[in-house]
A and B are shown apart, each in its own frame.
Chain A
Amino acid sequence: MTTPQSPVVSLPWRVLDDYRCFGCSPHNPFGLGLEFAEHPDGIVTSFRLGRGYESYPGVVHGGLLGVVCDETMGNLIVLRTGLVAFTTGMRMRYLQPILVDETCTCVASLGAPGTDGQVMSARAEIFNSEGILVAASTATYLRVPFSTTRDRISLDDEDADRLDRALADAMFHPTQDHPPVQDHKGVQS
């Protein structure tokens, strides 16, 4: 469903053979199957939603655009920090409708880490096929080490170990434009 123009970024979740994330899994037949690529501001995804995601006739349901923004921001934080990111708050601003079957892009960028080092904000913007800004979102995320949240995620020990390593690898592969995220004390996450 997605067609990023740059090479697709490998998400840590891909080490799990059967993960079903509604936003980014290729294994969920009902999901969006988003893929991401590096972007000067963060990461970008391209998507086209058909009538199965319709609201008013011919118009994409706004809730789905929230999913796209949340997914893009959340995965950006995961990729930059190697930590699991849980959404704690999110605001959408809808500017104009997106039509079904219209190819759009969503770009997410990082905000400033919170003063406690655990909370991080992010911003996402959706552009329509003409490059016009049609929706914008800001959100905050709680960043936690995978080990902290291990008991809340349904994985067997083998998959948990694989994911733990994949998250660590994500942290060690910052891009030239995006060095590892530092918290307010200047300590790398």
Chain B
Amino acid sequence: MTTSPISPSVSVADITAALTAIVAGELAVPAADIHPDTDLRAVQGADSVKVLRTIAKVEREYDIELEDEEVFGASTVGEIADVVYRTLTTS
């Protein structure tokens, strides 16, 4: 398990779990159906606005600003979790 040197209690797994809950709430799908390799834009009912709203909630959850290039370059839950982790550990 990868752990942030800046926030030792935050791991990629923690971020993935939090992100899964946010995605499930925003896209109105069961959390059990969301996996690290789930492509957010491919989830039924998802659209670009809902995905962006998910990103906004993640930014609020971790008090971070994600770069648009990274946000739009990430597709899956796992990829977004990695972006969040990198931001937390390098900011």
Find out whether the CB atom of A133 lies under 8 angstroms from the CB atom of B53: yes
Q: Which residue of B lies closest to A112 (CB)?
A: B63
- The interface of chain B, by Cβ under 8 A from chain A, is 49, 52-53, 55-57, 59-60, 63, 65
B63 near A93: Cβ-Cβ < 8 Å:
no
CB-defined contacts of B57 to chain A, threshold 8 Å? 133
Q: Which of A96, A112, A136 contacts B59 (CB 8 A)?
A: A136
User: Per-position contact with B for A81-116: 1 when CB-CB < 8 Å, else 0?
Assistant: 000000000010101100000000000000110000
User: By DSSP majority rule, is chain A's interface helix, strand, loop, or mixed?
Assistant: strand
Assess whether B56 is in contact with A136, with CB atoms less than 8 Å apart.
Answer: yes
Q: Is B65 in contact with A96, judged by CB distance below 8 angstroms?
A: no
Question: In the bound complex, do residue B56 and residue A93 qualify as a contact, i.e. CB atoms below 8 Å apart?
Answer: yes
- Set A96, A111, A123, A136: member contacting B49, Cβ < 8 A: A96
A138 close to chain B: CB less than 8 A: yes
Inter-chain contacts of B56 with A (CB < 8 A): 93, 95, 133, 136
Contacting pair A93 B60 (CB below 8 A): no
Known: A133-B57, A138-B59. 8 other contacts (CB 8 A): A93-B59, A95-B52, A95-B53, A125-B60, A133-B53, A133-B56, A136-B56, A136-B60
Select from chain B the residue with minimum beta-carbon distance to A94: B52
CA distance A187 to B55 in the complex (A): 35
Give A22 to B49 CA distance when docked, in angstroms. 30
Q: For residue B52, which residue of chain A has the nearest CB?
A: A95
Assess the A95–B49 pair: CB atoms within 8 A: yes
Q: Which residues of A contact B49 (CB under 8 A)?
A: 95-96
